[in-house]
Amino acid sequence: MEIRKLELGPGIRLTAVSSDKFKSSRFSVSMLSSLDSETVNAHALIPRVLLRGSKFRRNLTEISRYSDELFGLNVSSLSRKYGEKHGVGLAASFTDAIYLPEGYVAKIIDFIFELLLQPATKGGLFLPEYVESEKSKHIEALKSIKNNKELLAYFNFLSSMFEGETYAINHHGDIEGCEKLNYISLSKAYKKLLTFSKVELFYCGSLSSDELMFRLMMPLAGLPRAKRIGIPETNILYAPPREDINFCFEKADTTQGIVYLGFRIGEYFKTADLASLRVFNTFFGSSISSRLFKNIREKLSLCYEIYSSYDRFKGSFFIFAGIDFDKFELAKNAILTEIQAVADGEFSDEELNMAKKVAYSDLLSVLDSPGKLESFFLAMNLSGKDAQPHEFAAACMEVGREDIINIASSLRLDTVYFMTSEENK
């Protein structure tokens, strides 16, 4: 497996993973910009509209027919959040070049850029019927969040914890903002996005990076670029912005209580290494051998499900728990007790070693999936890191007790969120 990272133009980076071990290849184009309430709705909608038709294949029927001719090419839209950056674009999965007739990979790459750079337009603007159709579907998807109480609680928790910060913005957008879009405003936003965004290209397949670069020369020539392209870095708060803990209680039509605890990782994050954070999260709450799972769920039976996660870009740590309504105080206090116990070093080497092995195994599994490789390298690129999965995995095995203790000691509780039933007092 050969991995190369290449600058192909102003603000354009290619990560090429050349390997003949996969039967399917992956190619993606991610356009990165600042997460902004003024642009988030347009940026989230643009990839959906791009998939409706191109200059040469004007509708879904023609796109589907041509995708079948390309041996089952599948192209999907992307909208992802990286701290306070928004990444949107297109991702394609297709039969690897080894199993395709000669020249077909070039056709596939050309078609992806056809969708991206030559959409179906009239008078230089998106077709109104396509914009209204995709806008309607997107609004329905946003409305459906209200029926998914766990997802609704998550977004409301983020809005409360990060109130006044860019991070609070939902990268899928919001109903009110999406309703205001039309084919003219979306066309303008699309042209600005192409010109001013940073572009991350990813490829995983049997082509060499030199072959791929040759295939990309013509398509990239049609990508408009500003002379200076820059995106502000994510603003990191090492301590909660409020003197007191932020408590947020919400009532909803739910059969299960939903708890979120949000922490700022604190001073440790100023010099944090990603391997230590990965192992700490695995050790504390993201695996079935974790402290939260074993002690809060299994031993104390205080929740139906529980796990932790973290945002490497924002320096934040989150804990989720699904509980009976009357278990809120018990569950919250038990979670905080677990954090303090870890900060005091009350854990065995066996627990830590198990977490290191799980993290190691999870990272090596990245090497078995083109999709996981894409997620891994894009996150690494945006973190300013250059590690490969096996190197990151090896670093996890070097994490020591003091690293775990230091992270737990550095956590600062910012927000406690609880969604309960409308009948619960």
Going residue by residue through the chain, which has 425 residues, state the pLDDT in tens, using 9 for 90 and above: 999 999 999 999 999 999 999 999 999 999 999 999 999 999 999 999 999 999 999 999 999 999 999 999 999 999 999 999 999 999 999 999 999 999 999 999 999 999 999 999 999 999 999 999 999 999 999 999 999 999 999 999 999 999 999 999 999 999 999 999 999 999 999 999 999 999 999 999 999 999 999 999 999 999 999 888 889 999 999 999 999 999 999 999 999 999 999 999 999 999 888 999 999 999 999 999 999 999 999 999 999 999 999 999 999 999 999 999 999 999 999 999 999 999 999 999 999 999 999 999 999 999 999 999 999 999 999 999 989 999 999 999 999 999 999 999 999 999 999 999 988 76
Same domain for 182 and 33, yes or no, is yes
Whether residue 233 is contained in a domain is answered as no
161 & 251 share domain: no
* φ, ψ at 201 (rounded to 5°): -100, 140
- Point out the domain boundary residue: 183, 205, 221: 221
Q: Which tokens sit at 16? A: 């090429």
CA 143, distance to chain mean position in Å, is: 21
Give the dihedral of Cα atoms 95, 97, 98, 99; nearest 10 deg: 40
Same domain for 299 and 394, yes or no, is yes
Rounded distance, CA 134 to CA 273, Å?
A: 41
Domain boundary (178, 204, 221) is at 221
Residue 264 shares a structural domain with residue 311:
yes
Report if residue 296 sits inside a domain.
Answer: yes
* Exposure string for 202-229, b = 16+ CB within 10 A, e = fewer: bbbbbbebebbbebbeebbeebebeeeb
Query: Which tokens sit at 257?
Result: 């209580």
**Domain assignment of residue 103, given as a range:** 2-221
What total of structural domains would you count in the chain? 2
Q: Is residue 307 part of a domain?
A: yes
Question: What token pair was written down for 43?
Answer: 């940026």
Sign of the CA dihedral with 131 first, then 134, 140, and 144 last: negative
Indicate if 203 and 275 belong to the same structural domain.
Answer: no
pLDDT of residue 425: 62
Both 64 and 124 in one domain: the answer is yes
Residue for token digits 């990151």?
392
The answer on 258 and 212 residing in a single domain is no
- The two structure tokens encoding residue 333: 């206090």
Rounded (to 5) percent helix, strand, coil in the chain:
50, 25, 30
Do 281 and 373 lie in one domain? The reply is yes
pLDDT of residue 122: 97
| Residue owning tokens 């990060």 | 162
Out of 170, 205, 221, pick the residue that ends a domain: 221
Cα 254 to Cα 240: distance, rounded to the nearest angstrom:
29
The DSSP element (H or E) to which 261 belongs, if any, is strand 257-264
299 exposed, middle or buried (CB, 10 Å; 0-12, 13-18, 19+)? exposed
- Residues paired with residue 200 on neighbouring β-strands, in sequence order: 13, 30
The number of beta carbons lying within 10 Å of the beta carbon of residue 16 is: 24
- Both 383 and 333 in one domain: the answer is yes
User: Given CA atoms 384, 386, 390, 391 in this order, what sign does their dihedral have?
Assistant: negative
Q: Distance of alpha carbon 303 from its chain centroid, rounded? A: 27
Residues 9, 225: contact at Cβ < 8 Å? yes
pLDDT of residue 161: 98
Q: If residue 339 lies in a helix (H) or strand (E), which one and from where to where?
A: helix 328-343
Helix (H, G, I), strand (E, B) or coil at 305: strand
User: Are 215 and 253 in the same domain?
Assistant: no
Residues 336 and 259: their CA atoms lie apart, in Å, by 13
Element (H, E) at 117: helix 104-117
Task: Give 84's DSSP letter.
Answer: T
Reported as half-sphere exposure (CB side, CA atoms, 13 A), residue 399 has a value of 34
**For residue 11, which phi and psi values (nearest 5 degrees)?**
70, 20
> What is the rounded distance in angstroms from the CA atom of residue 84 to the CA atom of residue 61?
37
Query: How deeply is 68 buried, as exposed, middle or buried, from its count of CB atoms within 10 A (0-12, 13-18, 19+)?
Result: exposed
Q: Is 35 inside a domain boundary?
A: yes
Tokens at 25, concatenated: 């290849």
Is 239 inside any structural domain?
no
Does residue 241 lie in a domain region? no
Same domain assignment for residues 323 and 217: no
CA 34/CA 37 separation, integer angstroms: 10
Q: How far apart, in whole angstroms, are the C-alpha atoms of residue 83 and residue 197?
A: 16
The CA distance from 243 to 344, in Å, is 24
Contact 338, 296 (CB under 8 A): yes
What does the alpha-carbon distance between residue 121 and residue 127 come to, in Å, rounded to a whole number? Answer: 5
Q: Do residues 67 and 59 touch, judged by C-beta distance below 8 A? A: no
Q: At what angle do helices 328-343 and 401-410 cross, to 10 degrees?
A: 130
d(CA 381, CA 32): 12
Please report whether residue 227 resides in a domain.
Answer: no
**What pLDDT shows up at residue 204?**
98
CA distance 335 to 296: 7
User: Collapsing DSSP states into helix, strand and coil, what is residue 297?
Assistant: helix
Residue 319 lies in a domain: yes
CATH number for 374: 3.30.830.10
Residues 214 and 277 grouped into a single domain: no
